[in-house]
Every structure is written in C-alpha cells, then in structure tokens.
Structure 1
Amino acid sequence: MEHIVDLRLFEAIGRTRSLTDAARDTGLSLTVVSRRLKQLETALEVRLVQRSTRRLHLTPEGEQFLENARTVLAALEIAEEVGSDRGSLRVTASVAFAKRVLAPLLPRFMDVHPGIAVEVLASNDVVDLLQQRVDLAVRQEALEDSRLVMRRAAADARILCATPDYLASAGAPQEPADLEHHRCLSVGIPPRRSWTLLRDGERVEVPIRPMVSDNNGEVIHAVALAHGGIAIKSVWDVMEDLRAGRLVRVLPEWQEGADRSIHLVFPDRRYMPRRVRLFADFLMVELNAMLDRNADLGLWPSA
C-alpha cells in the first residue's frame, strides 16, 4: 500500500507539475510531498524531477516513471471494480454538445446504470484529459495529442442554415457567391472573412461579411434563430430546429469543409474502467440512433 501511495503522489506531481498542487490533490502537506518524492528518488537511484524557480519539470526518467505509474494505477482501478457498475466518470464536451446531446441522454444512462455518477465538464476549450482527470471527451476536431486514443462514434457535418423569415426578407442564396451579399454569422474572434464550401468534390472559398461573431457558437445560434442571418452549424446542434421548421437549410447541396466525425477520446492507457466502457458504448449506440431517427432530413453524410 505504501508503494501505491507513492505512485498516486507522483501521478499528481506529473499531472500538475507542481508540488503544491500535488499536495492539495492528495491531501498531504507540502513537507510530506517533498519528503516522499526525495525518498522515491533515493529508492530508485534516479532523479525524477528538475525544479526551477517557475515550474517543476520531469526528467526523461520521470516521464517514463509517470507513464508506468499511470498504467499500474489504471490496472489497480480495474481490479478494484471488476464486475461493478459503480463509481464516477468525468466527461468533457463543448457547451453546445453537452447541452443539446449529452444532457437529454444522461437520464436514460442513469436509469440503466444507477450506480454510475457522471461529471460533465462543459467547455469550448480543448481540455487536457490527463491534467483534468477526464475519462472521456467528445470532440469533432482531429486528434493532435499522441498521448490520447480516439474512437469514431458517428458521422457529422456542418451546414448553412437560417430562419424562413430571414430568407423571405433577404432572399435565399442560389449559389455560394450570393453569400457575399447576406448577413453571415461567424464563429471565431477575430471573425472569419470567408467560408470554405464543398459539394461532391467541388471546393469553393466564399468571401463573407461577418455581421456577428462570437467565440463559441451559442450566440450565433441564438442570433440565427432571431432571424439575424445565415450561420454554419453542426447538424446535431440544429437538428431539432430544422425538424421544427425554426431553421431551414441554405444551399442544401453544400456543406462546410470535408466530411467530419464525432469522436470519443480517451487517455492513452492500456486499461479502461468498466464504467467508462459502458458510457462509451452507450454513446455510440445513442448517437447512431440519432442519425437513424433523422435520416429523413437528409442532413448527415454516410457513416
């Protein structure tokens, strides 16, 4: 058990890169953390960390020890919960995805697995899964961190949409070049000045006049619903608005960028807790069921 305490302590040091933060996370005093780290280095006969005036850095040996420690701790976690549908898991997703997709699904998951508590970290920032102790992330962007593993969950696409009232007033664009004369709603600050649209392999770069922009897409969604202009949104984000007629597709043969996918991303470790596997499998089933239920809208590319 003494060794397990040291492994958990060093995992906290490696994750936070701070003895003070590691002490807070483990509930130990800073003095005890410093002493145990020194004892660990002495026992291993190797330096694990380099201290500077600003931040703690792991040595190459420290990075390797951290990876091994995480593998052992993950295996221990699995051993402690074999056959159990209990515990908690932490999930991260964008604010919009958490609100419109995850939230409606959580009651169903809890009904099936009442012993599993779900913590949702809704953020439009790319959360460091290891730093924040996240078990599963839902992402639409390509995976860049080689420490992580990715599993494709479902198809995705980004489409142009606006309200019927806006289009009745401003006129519906007939071709991409017409967008230059419309109020376009752009995600990103500073705003994008062009949109890249694709249709059956054809690609065009369209100049736009970004009349409203925001940093996460939620304001753009609200402005579009208030007849403010044309927005580009992921289909899962506006699916219910399209079905209800609050929004309609603009230039329906075109979509932004190449085919996209919804991915589940996990920390790169050999062992995945049963509760995380259960939630991942649940999401896979539900996301693809969502595709099937809305296939008649013709929104999604083939999976």
Structure 2
Amino acid sequence: MDLLIAMRTFVAVVQAGTMNAAAQKLNVTSALVGQRIAALENHLQVRLLNRTTRQHSLTDFGESYLEQCRDILDLVAQSEGKASDQQAQPQGRLRIAAPLSFGSEALIPALKSFTDMTPGAEIDVVLSDTNEDLIAGGIDAAFRIGKLEDSTLLQTQLAPYRMMVCASSELLMEHGTPRTPLELERFRAVLFSRTGRRAWRFAKDSEIQKWTPKATITVNSSQAVRVAAKAGMGIAMLPECLVTQDIAAGELVRILADWKSPEQPMALIYHRDRYRPQRLASFINFARSTFGNHTTKSKGVHLP
C-alpha cells in the first residue's frame, strides 16, 4: 500500500461525500477507492468511516486523522510545488465556471489580459446559469451571483452585479420616458424567466418604489431579453455588462438612471486548500483586480 495515495483517497472521499464521487474525481474505479480505504484502515487497525449502503460518516478517530492527513499532504504538495512555483510562468489547466451573461460579456473579453500574463496556463471556461458543483465538475474556481450558502469553500468578494432598466428609443417615443418607477405602469416588460414577475425595486435617497411588471414575453435567456427589448417589445431589466455597448450605440436607452436599480453580490469561490497551484492563485488575483469593487461604497438604501 502506498500510504500517501491512501491518504489522498481518504481525503477525497470525505470532500466528495461518496466513494463514487471520489472515484470520479480521482479518475479511478469505485472498487479501487474502497480497497484503498480498507487497506488504510487495516494499516491503522482502526475504522475511519462508518459506512451504509448510500453514505458514510467519519468516526471520532477519522475526524482527527483527516486533519493530520491534510497537514501531511499539504506539506508534501508544498515541497513538490516549490520548484515549479519558482518558474517564470504558471503552468497547467485551469477550469473556470461563470454565469452566461457575465461570462460571455465580461469575463471572456477580460481573459485576454490574463492569458497574456500566463501563457503557460490553459483556460477551460464553463458558462451556465446553473451553479456547477466544483468537485463533480472538476472546477477550480467559479463566479457566483447572489447570496451564497454556507460552505467550506473560500470566496473572494467582487463588485456587485448591477442591473439597468432599458428600452428601445421607438418604445419611449410611443409611450414617453418614465421619470419615476410609478410611471412604468403604462409599459409592458420583457422578462427573464428565472426572475419571473417579481417586483422591481428602486431607491432614491431614502425613498423606495417598486413595480410589478406585466410581461409581453418571458424567455429563459438574458440575451433573448436583450434582443426583444431592442426590438421594442417592452422595457427590460438587464445586467449592466450586457447592455453597455447597446446604450453607447443608441440601440437601447437607459431609463430611471437617477434611481438605484437592484444589484446582487458577486464572488469568486474556490477550494479551501492550503497549497494552491500558482495558476489558480494568479487567476484569483486577476479576478480581484479586474472585477473587484474599487469604488468607495455609497451610503443609502440597500436593494436586494
């Protein structure tokens, strides 16, 4: 038995939650994972996991041994990584997940500067509005929008994900330009199906107004919402990163600019590893410098 491989397998099983998931992560069979755990327990002469047919839990000794394994494996990884970390450029594959709109409109254009700085790194980007599981998807880091659930993952807070209310100039010529959220009553909206018909909330100084939109059309793609808004099918609330160029080109007009639109927190999440590959550490620094909140936080009414 290779003790270090057995330790790595034990830690992977605990992190993944099941032996099958750990086997996928390690690219081995579930049977081999089970054999390694059994061999490790036989070597130690003590049970590490309480097993049932579908799940397992750590024994008391297993909990303390887990921390020892992590410390030992971190030290091994640090000693093995020192030589490569002293090389001029980070090397290897980096798998990053991001929401569709943010990923296509903000992340992908910005990645040119990162790849210029790290030519030895290979970037694999996964764009989806469904939050990918980092372990199951083999993902090194993921951008998340919205409130995060409690997790063992680390997170770096970024600038909030801001929304803008927009309409085509033709629609505004027909119905007039609203000056307050209450004047939206004369409009219909193009809605993103994930947010549905929930009320749009706006703030100005200490005042809050909200409006529940009536839909002309509801679609499951923010890009399609953008196209429908440009075609004059209704007003739309869209991510700032998605409509900036349309507004500059005059294809969309921002309305209610003096009212604060909803925004959501955004973060980059990644594994809690004491030893972190240089390519991932470089990407975390890149995300913080590129998408971090570099402006002074303004006081006022908070909108969820």
Report whether the alignment pairs 1:94 with 2:93: no
Aligned residue pair count: 293
Shift of 1:114: 0.8
Distance 2:115 2:85 in 1: 19
Where in structure 2 are there 5+ consecutive unaligned residues?
300-304
TM-score (norm 1): 0.82
Report whether the alignment pairs 1:266 with 2:270: yes
Shift of 1:160: 0.8
Q: Is the CA contact 2:50–2:58 (under 8 Å) kept in the aligned structure 1?
A: yes
Distance 1:113 1:202 in 2: 47
SS of match in other structure, 1:124: coil
SS of match in other structure, 1:165: helix
1:235 partner amino acid: E
Q: What is the alpha-carbon root mean square deviation over aligned residues? A: 3.1
Q: In terms of mean alpha carbon deviation, does 188-197 or 65-74 score higher? A: 65-74
Report whether the alignment pairs 1:58 with 2:57: yes
Q: In terms of mean alpha carbon deviation, does 267-276 or 16-25 score higher? A: 16-25
1:52 partner amino acid: T
- 1:278–1:31 distance in 2 versus 1, CA, 3 Å: closer
In structure 2, the partner of 1:241 is: 246
Shift of 1:66: 5.3
Percent identity (aligned) = 29
Write the deviation string for residues 218-246 of structure 1: whole angstroms up to 9, x where unpaired.
32222222222111122122222222222
Shift of 1:173: 1.8
Pairing of 1:188-267 with structure 2 (within 5 A) = 188-189=193-194, 191-257=196-262, 260-267=264-271
Where in structure 1 are there 5+ consecutive unaligned residues?
293-299
Distance 1:16 1:133 in 2: 11
In structure 2, the partner of 1:23 is: 23
Report whether the alignment pairs 1:3 with 2:10: no
- 1:66–1:228 distance in 2 versus 1, CA, 3 Å: farther
Shift of 1:149: 2.3
Write the deviation string for residues 110-159 of structure 1: whole angstroms up to 9, x where unpaired.
22211011121212122233443322222232232331222233354222
Shift of 1:86: 0.9
Distance 1:247 1:75 in 2: 55
TM-score (norm 2): 0.81
Q: In terms of mean alpha carbon deviation, does 141-150 or 63-72 score higher? A: 63-72
1:31 partner amino acid: A
In structure 1, the partner of 2:172 is: 167
- 1:187–1:32 distance in 2 versus 1, CA, 3 Å: same
- 1:162–1:28 distance in 2 versus 1, CA, 3 Å: same
